[in-house]
Chain A
Amino acid sequence: MPSFQISTRTSLAVSTALLLLAALVVSARAATPVTPPGLADCATLEIPTDREVNTLLDKVNKLLTLSYLDDSTGSDRTVTISYEDPQCLARSSVKTKIDHALQTDRVTQVQMCVSMRQGIANNETVVRGRPVDLDAARRYVDEWCS
């Protein structure tokens, strides 16, 4: 019967190699962005082209929800992503939608700020027949119009 005695030196070398391997795996995992729970993984996400894709922007949490009809199910597929996630920005089909949603928001945001400032300057406390809070309007301007 062959002997499987392993020398102390060999054993040490193997242990060191295993430790190095484990360290490599851990560091590789740490380097890979982890998608937060509930968000779509942009590493594999593809947004279909040439169809209606509706979006909902959440600027407070920096999230973008995209919805489009999934032909295979006959109902909308809805995915939410972090729009500052480098993995999302690296995917062309996703970045296009992010850019468009942010640009669309910028257009309306600028006008909303003008309108809010006008309302404050004119001391308008009723809009469309409803009372409004001008202190909240000032907070809005402070938060979103600087």
Chain B
Amino acid sequence: MPVLSLVALIAASALPVQADHINDTYRQRGYFIPAIGTSFAIATTSDNCNARELGAYDRVDASTTGATWIQGRWPQGISMSRNSGDPCNGNVTRGVDIFLDYQPRATWDSMHSTNAGGENHSTLAPSSFCAYWLVNSPCGSHPSTVHVNLDKWGTTSDLGKERLIMHETGHSLGLAHHCTSDSIMNDGGSACNGGKWLDVMVYKSTDREGIWKIYPNWKYN
């Protein structure tokens, strides 16, 4: 190896690793409206309401709530809950931020993604939608749809299900995959930090930093 390359490698390794979450990837993606307020309350709807969704929401809340930013947390955490009055039929209303849509195997087969556990599909909110909420455009994407692979869901452990919901809603919030350190956004593949899928069941500091970067107006203290 040439000396210069060796020196560059040593210099690069001495620099702090910047999480790819906090780069500009997905800047326009994600949930946005009530996040501008003092609490980060996210309303979801689902066409297959189940206890694992609630378990995931509890984990998100617990791992994002804290007294100070020193811990990389927020006083009220990220509060995810089912939309008020939601009959669990996947009814997407203007007050819903994330739609958990469980799709049968045929859908995943048709997309040539038979083995994917879930995906996130968002649409940029038009200016009239931003104006509806009295915020300037562009104001992110809304709503965000999480497609869950129902076939895989049926054979996944309870922990794996909660992990999947946390991971996919992390995309809804605007986070990219993250492989250079422990993260809820590890995609589970061996190429991603050894595929630490179930090793991380909380939002780590890199995840929280990524969210803070996406929502800088959200006051944390």
Contact = CB atoms under 8 A, between A and B. Distances in A.
Interface of A: 49-60, 67, 69, 71-72, 74-76, 78, 93, 96-97, 100-101, 104-105, 107-109, 111-112, 115-116, 119, 127-128, 130-133, 136-137, 139-140, 143-144
A55, A104, A133, A139 — most chain B CB neighbours (10 Å) = A104
B143 interface: yes
Interface of B: 20, 25-26, 28-29, 33-34, 37, 41, 43, 91-95, 99, 101, 110-124, 126, 128-129, 131-134, 141, 143, 145, 147, 171, 176-180, 187, 189, 191-193
Nearest to A143: B128
Contacts of A76: 20, 25, 176-177
B168 to A, nearest CB: 9
B93 A53 contact: no
Contacts of A119: 94
B65 to A, nearest CB: 20
Nearest to A54: B120
A100 B145 contact: no
A116 B111 contact: no
Would you list the 5 A-B pairs with minimal beta carbon distance, nearest first? A136-B131, A71-B191, A49-B112, A115-B93, A140-B128
A53 B92 contact: no
